[in-house]
Amino acid sequence: MTEVRVAGVGLTRFGSHPERTGRDLFAEAADRAFADAGVERDDVGELNYGNFMGALAEHQGHQAPLMAEAAAVRCPATRYESACASAGVAVREAVRTVRSGEADVVLAGGMERMTNLDTEGATEGLAIAADDLFEVRAGVTFPGAYALMARAYFEAHGGDREDLAHVASKNHENALPNEYAQFRTAVSVEEALDSPPVAEPLHLYDACPITDGASALVLVSEEYAAENDVDAPVAVTGTGQGTDRMALADRADLASTPAAADAATAAYDDAGVGPADVDVAEVHDCFTIAEVLAVESLGFAEPGEGIAAARDGLTTADGDLPVNLSGGLKAKGHPVGATGGSQIAELTRLLRGDHPNSEHVPDADVGVAHNAGGTVASAVVHVLEVAE
């Protein structure tokens, strides 16, 4: 089985670009990825593209050929949709495609355009990631679903809004030097606590913003990199995916995310590493409680102890295991269908040493990306390692 290398990564600035089309956003990210990789577009064997709500936001289905045009590649092109994990599954399939020998070069990533909708439209768009009959009709919004999990977590394990505010404050701090981040402003624990409620117990600063943006990765086989003198020092050594019951109410436990634990176990086994080997992680903090649940599912903290990870400094930039040095979804932004690709782009730069926050992890060899869909009915975990 060939090793998969990250030859190049590209992002748009995440933020509010309501007038920019999805095809233009993805074209920019792909352009940057090709420039970073030094790989010819003609060599791309497949395009794996993630997008969640393009049919609602842009009245545009069948986006994969459109994005192949935008990136100027002519090859099999497929759109992947798993809600907020859309790009994660697109990348995972790209890894499997390169490993299988089906293609030496795959362009993978995603795009979401959201701010052209008003808040109500975006809220409605995000809500369709939940079970329409039994959740959405009962008033479950995306923040509402995570609020239900947060309350269940507090009941099961303790913890409070202040613990969550430490997650928000940490991630805003991390985003300050990140030129791709939507919010490059510090938020104190007090400011986070004082923000208005969205779905109690979650308040405005517990939630990621509505974001436009795109991500693109050029993944290549180890042999292709060697033959073409492509500098690709970071390898994707592990991939795993998990699935849970769609509706939160149908899960055995409302305060944990076993799909992410399943994905992590598979990805760690695939890479031959364990949680103790991980030096840095990008996790799916669409809400502050989601980072807590992710840290536990990835094995960085025992169940019930993830709530203290940011407050106690385990996951801060100068902690033993920095989490979301990019700023996370929370501060960097969450263009839904692009997020899974952007996490791997950020991790790659952190491991290569050319990320503005690389100074916090100078000796990092192993990174983990955790991308979740809906209320973690879908989860994808990737392990990245410095190969050269």
Partner 1 sequence: MTDRNEGYDEWIDALSEGAGYALVCPEGHGSLPPRRVCPECGASPLSEEPLPETGTVETYTVVHVPSPRFADDAPYVTAVARFGPIRLTGIVRGVDGDLEGVGDGDPVEVGTAVEAGVGERETDDGRIVVLRPVET
Among 3, 24, 124, 365, binds partner 1 (CB under 8 A): 124
Contact 162, 189 (CB under 8 A): yes
Q: Which of residues 228-257 bind partner 1 (CB under 8 A)?
A: 245, 247-250, 254
Burial of 53 (0-12, 13-18, 19+ CB in 10 A): buried
Name the catalytic one among 17, 84, 203, 355: 84
Q: Is 137 in the site for partner 1 (CB under 8 A)?
A: yes
Q: What values do phi and psi take at 251, rounded to 5?
A: -85, 150
* Minimum distance from residue 132 beta carbon to partner 1 (Å): 9
147 is an interface residue for partner 1 by CB under 8 A: yes
Piece of the chain touching partner 1 by CB under 8 A; list 92-100, 126-134, 169-177, 211-219: 126-134
**Total number of residues that touch partner 1 (CB under 8 A):** 36
Among 6, 90, 136, 235, binds partner 1 (CB under 8 A): 136
Beta bridge partners of 159: none
Alpha-carbon distance of 322 to 327, in angstroms, equals: 11
**Backbone dihedral angles phi then psi of residue 278, each to the nearest 5 degrees:** -80, 135
Block residue for tokens 């030094």: 38
**Does 53 sit near partner 1 (CB under 8 A)?**
no
Catalytic (active site) residue 208: no
Q: Are strands 378-386 and 234-243 parallel, antiparallel or unpaired?
A: antiparallel
Q: Can you tell me which of 66, 71, 140, 314 binds partner 1, judged by CB under 8 A?
A: 140
- List phi, psi (to 5°) of 271: -85, -15
- The answer to whether 161 contacts partner 1 (rule: CB under 8 A) is no
DSSP string over 78-90: EEE-BTBTHHHHH
**By CB under 8 A, residue 148 contacts partner 1:** yes
Rounded distance between C-alpha atoms, residue 383 and residue 10, angstroms: 19
56: three-class secondary structure by DSSP: helix
Binding of residue 76 to partner 1 (CB under 8 A) = no
The answer to whether residue 286 is catalytic is no
Q: Does 155 bind partner 1 (CB under 8 A)?
A: yes
Find the binder of partner 1 among 149, 165, 283, 387 (CB under 8 A): 149
Q: Are 47 and 75 in contact (CB under 8 A)?
A: yes
Give the range of 105-113, 139-147, 157-165, 334-342 binding partner 1 by CB under 8 A: 139-147
User: Does position 123 bind partner 1 by CB under 8 A?
Assistant: yes
- Tell whether residue 152 is a contact of partner 1 (CB under 8 A): yes
**Binding of partner 1 at residue 280 (CB under 8 A)?**
no
Residue in 157, 166, 172, 334 annotated catalytic: 334
Token pair for residue 49? 């593209």
**Which of 139, 179, 229, 276 lies at the binding interface for partner 1 (CB under 8 A)?**
139
If one asks whether residue 194 binds partner 1 (CB under 8 A), the answer comes out as no
Alpha carbons 284 and 87: distance in angstroms, whole number: 12
Minimum CB separation from partner 1 for residue 277, in Å? Answer: 34
HSE of 72, CA atoms in CB hemisphere, 13 A: 12
Per DSSP, the residues of 163-174 read: HHHHHHHHHHHH
CB of 120 to partner 1, least distance (A): 5
Cα 304 to Cα 5, 160, 216, 228, 307: the distances in Å are 36, 12, 35, 48, 7
Among 43, 135, 244, 282, the residue binding partner 1 under the rule CB under 8 A is 135
Closest distance between partner 1 and the C-beta of residue 98, in Å?
34
- Both tokens assigned to 73: 């590649």
Answer yes or no whether residue 138 interacts with partner 1 by CB under 8 A: yes
Q: Does 143 bind partner 1 (CB under 8 A)?
A: yes
Quickly count: other Cβ atoms within 10 Å of residue 185's Cβ.
12
| Both structure tokens of 250 | 């149908």
| DSSP characters over 336-376 | GGGHHHHHHHHHHHHHHT-STTGGGSTT--EEEEEEEETTT
**198 touching partner 1, by CB under 8 A:** yes
Q: How far is the CB of 288 from partner 1 (least distance, A)?
A: 14
With binding defined as CB under 8 A, does residue 388 bind partner 1?
A: no
Which residues of this chain interact with partner 1, rule CB under 8 A? Answer: 119-121, 123-124, 127, 133-141, 143-144, 147-149, 151-152, 155, 196-202, 245, 247-250, 254
> Where in the sequence numbering do the catalytic residues fall?
84, 334
